[in-house]
Amino acid sequence: MFIYRRYRLKNPKLHYFCGMESFDEQTIKDLEFSTIREWLTGYSIGETAKNRLAILAPSNRFEEIKEELDRVNEFLSIRTEGENFPSLDFEELLIEIKLLPIRNAVLSQEGFTRIFRASHLINSIVYFFDKREKDFPLLFQLSNEAYFTTEIIDAIEKVFDRKGTVKDEASPLLYEIRQQIKVVKIQINKNFDRELRKLIKENVLGDTKEAFVNDRRVLTVLSTHKRKIPGTVVGSSKTGSLTFIEPQSTIELNNEYELLADDERKEIYRILQALTREIAHLLPLIQAYQNIMTEFDFINSKTKLALELNCCLPSIEKEEMKIELINVVHPILWKNNRAHGKKTHSQYLYMDKFSRMLVISGPNAGGKSITLKTVGLLQLMLQAGLLVPLDPNSKMCFFQQILTDIGDNQSIENELSTYSYRLKRMNHFLKVSNRRTLLLLDEFGTGSDPDLGGALAEVFFENLYNKKSFGVITTHYANIKLKADQLKNAINGCMLFDTETLEPLYKFSMGQPGSSFTFEVAQINGIPLEIIEDAKTRLDDRKVKMDRLLGELQKEKTYLERLNKEHIEAQETAQKAKNEFLQKKEKFEQKLKVQQETIESNNKYITAGKKLKQFIDRYQAKSRKKDINQPLIHEIVKYIAVEKSKIEEARLSEKLKKEINTPKINSKKQKEVPQKDEYQRSKIVIGSTVKLIATKQSGTVEEIQGEQMTVIFGFIRMKVEREKLMWIK
């Protein structure tokens, strides 16, 4: 049974989580975080949550981020584990919250309906979390801002019915007014119908007979007969052929009806004013309703996004800077590919303090930029309090700032070229970067002379490395790849390329640089081979050899990885086959054992059956001699006695084995063995008569081997230790 509890209201302020003003806006733009915002706003119900989600941004307030992530993860558990959480169907209470503090203010009927539904919803939420505080502590804390009460519901139900209309019984005066209105309406209709029937007979009415003007029933009279009808003309048709006349017999009644309707409106206004005053003291609770509903709307939108993208909460590294992304995908690419029936390749990426600067190389259109953007967008999502699409065994950490240099950012207005823009961004990075900075640099160093730009990019790379920043960098420059190989805490990675089919594999591999496959990509795009060969002759032989070497290394690595994968699969298949064989062998052995036992048992029955068949065949039923079957009966009795003794002997043997092998509980007599018993046991020799202490059964010693003796007990021969025997003679 649910216990009604009144909790003290906490601070009803909204838990806005919209990031810090200092977070880099260009990064949010470069990584297309606005698309994530658009998806989130589409999932929300109320305007408050929509507005919050529309400006949602990453934050570097780590404790708040972690709490928000845990809160969303709790709600995701509720949604995925089949918990019967109340449906979030509500309208916000902003207008009502503004009006309630005002003296003599009156809420509308719609406003009371909104408060009524909100009270039902929050009561359901409070009830849901009442016994689940340990399972969902953060959501329980949020729901705990309100308390379970029917005070508001009871007050509103006294005034309104289920359709949201003020009840007749809301006040005695309203009841009386409405009764009078019913009487007047009946009389109006009665008088009007009488007049209508009369005029129909006189054929002075139009086809429609009657109409409504200003909510009053009027006659539709042919204009040629309008002077014959007593009453008030209230209008005419567009053509003028029809005149609308209110009959004289209903005019006074309609006027009375209008006066009563006005009295009804005034009384309803008075009732609603009184009801407003009655619930005004509960304004803090109604504000808590608004806070809880909008906060759950905010969290629910994030949860819906997590369900849509198969997101989860990775392990968060608070102190150590580490990223391990397992089976990670770019959410926007994944959703677009799914809509078009395409496959999205997941990636694995690892970075820590020993491999904090990752340089990705490889062919154009091979997925370098997507891999870089995936790391960045997921980090933005995480630091905006959103769950991310990857394996739950993944690890992530929090960065103080995420900085990007992606794409062509020419500025015609400021006469700023792409390279100039990049230099300005790089200058900013060099000023603000630290050990908690994540840098995402796409096509690092491009935009200028390859040799000069490459040299400057190398210097930039070293300076950013010395600031102990984390970075994911895509490049085609050989000197950057070489520098990453030389620096202790930097690492190369590449996008794989199938050298046989000349197609990118869209798979990322860490540990070695990749070839740009410039000539291979050109060949894919239809460039004639003679032009490609001519281009090769114009290059430095060392560059061509290095590019070829990288391509061959990548090819060999791919081949070895395939062999390793096949070897692992073969091992797994062999182990699986071995396990299946052992299981089948065990089953067969068990089955064989059962069959053998069954055969032995059946053989006994068959032997006994054959013996009894012989007895039956020898039995002479038709002989006239009196005792002719007596010898046969004696033989049968003897046979049965022998068989029974065998069964008893076997049973006794089992009992003796159990008693001999079962250690006896110490008693007072066994604590101190008399020296006399030791002396008696020492007299036991072959042929001695002894008694088994446990069962008091006597037997004869047949053989002695040290302290172990072979004793014959009747038909049974057993090996028994000397200490378990007593000498008799």
Which one has a higher pLDDT value, 532 or 449?
Answer: 532
pLDDT bin (cut points 50, 70, 90) of residue 170 is: very high
Location of structure tokens 């309208």: 91
- Among residues 287, 290, 305, the alpha carbon closest in space to that of 72 is found at 305
| Dihedral sign (CA 299, 302, 303, 304) | positive
pLDDT in tens, 560-580: 767 777 788 888 888 888 888
* C-alpha dihedral (504, 506, 507, 511), degrees to nearest 10: 70
Question: In the CATH hierarchy, which fold is given to the domain comprising 169-266?
Answer: MutS, DNA mismatch repair protein; Chain A, domain 3 (1.10.1420)
Three-state secondary structure call for residue 182: helix
How many other C-beta atoms can be found within 10 angstroms of the C-beta atom of residue 237?
A: 14
Evaluate if residue 224 carries a pLDDT over 70: yes
What is the model's pLDDT at position 273?
94
Evaluate if residue 712 carries a pLDDT over 90: no
315-538 has which CATH code?
3.40.50.300
Which range in 268-272, 365-369, 519-523 is most confidently predicted, on average pLDDT?
268-272
| Dihedral sign (CA 297, 298, 304, 308) | positive
Cα 616 to Cα 620: distance, rounded to the nearest angstrom: 9
Contact (Cβ atoms closer than 8 angstroms) between residue 575 and residue 568: no
323-328 β-sheet, strand order: 315-317, 395-397, 323-328, 347-351
pTM: 0.69
Residue-by-residue DSSP string for 681-694: HHT--TT-EEEETT
Q: According to CATH, where is 1.10.1420.10 located in the chain?
A: 25-167+278-309, 169-266
Q: Which helix (H) or strand (E) holds 328?
A: strand 323-328
pLDDT bin (cut points 50, 70, 90) of residue 682 is: low
Arithmetic mean of pLDDT, 457-464:
89
Three-state secondary structure call for residue 708: strand
Query: How far from chain centre, in Å, is Cα 127?
Result: 23
Arithmetic mean of pLDDT, 642-669:
64
Cα 508 to Cα 561: distance, rounded to the nearest angstrom: 13
What is the model's pLDDT at position 722?
79
Which one has a higher pLDDT value, 449 or 355?
Answer: 355
What is the model's pLDDT at position 183?
95
Cα 519 to Cα 136: distance, rounded to the nearest angstrom: 58
**Segment among 100-114, 228-242, 320-334 with least mean pLDDT:** 228-242
pLDDT bin (cut points 50, 70, 90) of residue 646 is: confident
Cα 45 to Cα 297: distance, rounded to the nearest angstrom: 6
Q: Which amino acid is at 430?
A: L
The three state secondary structure string of 565-584 is: HHHHHHHHHHHHHHHHHHHH
Which range in 84-88, 659-663, 686-690 is most confidently predicted, on average pLDDT?
84-88
Location of structure tokens 């919050």: 52
How many other C-beta atoms can be found within 10 angstroms of the C-beta atom of residue 166?
A: 20
Q: What single-letter DSSP state applies at residue 85?
A: P
Contact (Cβ atoms closer than 8 angstroms) between residue 368 and residue 349: no
Arithmetic mean of pLDDT, 590-596:
85
Alpha helix ranges (H) inside 527-671: 529-537, 541-618, 630-661, 668-671
pLDDT bin (cut points 50, 70, 90) of residue 645 is: confident
Q: Report the percent of the chain where pLDDT is more than 70.
A: 82
Q: What single-letter DSSP state applies at residue 438?
A: E
Contact (Cβ atoms closer than 8 angstroms) between residue 377 and residue 31: yes
716-721 β-sheet, strand order: 716-721, 708-713, 698-705, 689-692, 725-727
pLDDT in tens, 120-167: 999 999 999 998 999 999 999 999 999 999 999 999 999 999 888 999
Q: Which amino acid is at 9?
A: L
pLDDT bin (cut points 50, 70, 90) of residue 477 is: confident
Q: According to CATH, where is 3.40.50.300 located in the chain?
A: 315-538
pLDDT in tens, 373-385: 999 999 999 999 9
Q: According to CATH, where is 2.30.30.30 located in the chain?
A: 674-729
Arithmetic mean of pLDDT, 194-199:
89
Location of structure tokens 């000397």: 722
What are the two backbone dihedrals, phi and then psi, of residue 689, each rounded to the nearest 5 degrees?
-90, 125
Q: What single-letter DSSP state applies at residue 719?
A: E
**Segment among 114-118, 298-302, 551-555, 673-677 with least mean pLDDT:** 673-677
The mean pLDDT value of the chain amounts to 83
Residue-by-residue DSSP string for 440-489: EETTTT-SS-HHHHHHHHHHHHHHHHHTT-EEEEE---HHHHHHHHHSTT
Cα 618 to Cα 623: distance, rounded to the nearest angstrom: 12
25-167+278-309 has which CATH code?
1.10.1420.10
What is the model's pLDDT at position 154?
95
674-729 has which CATH code?
2.30.30.30
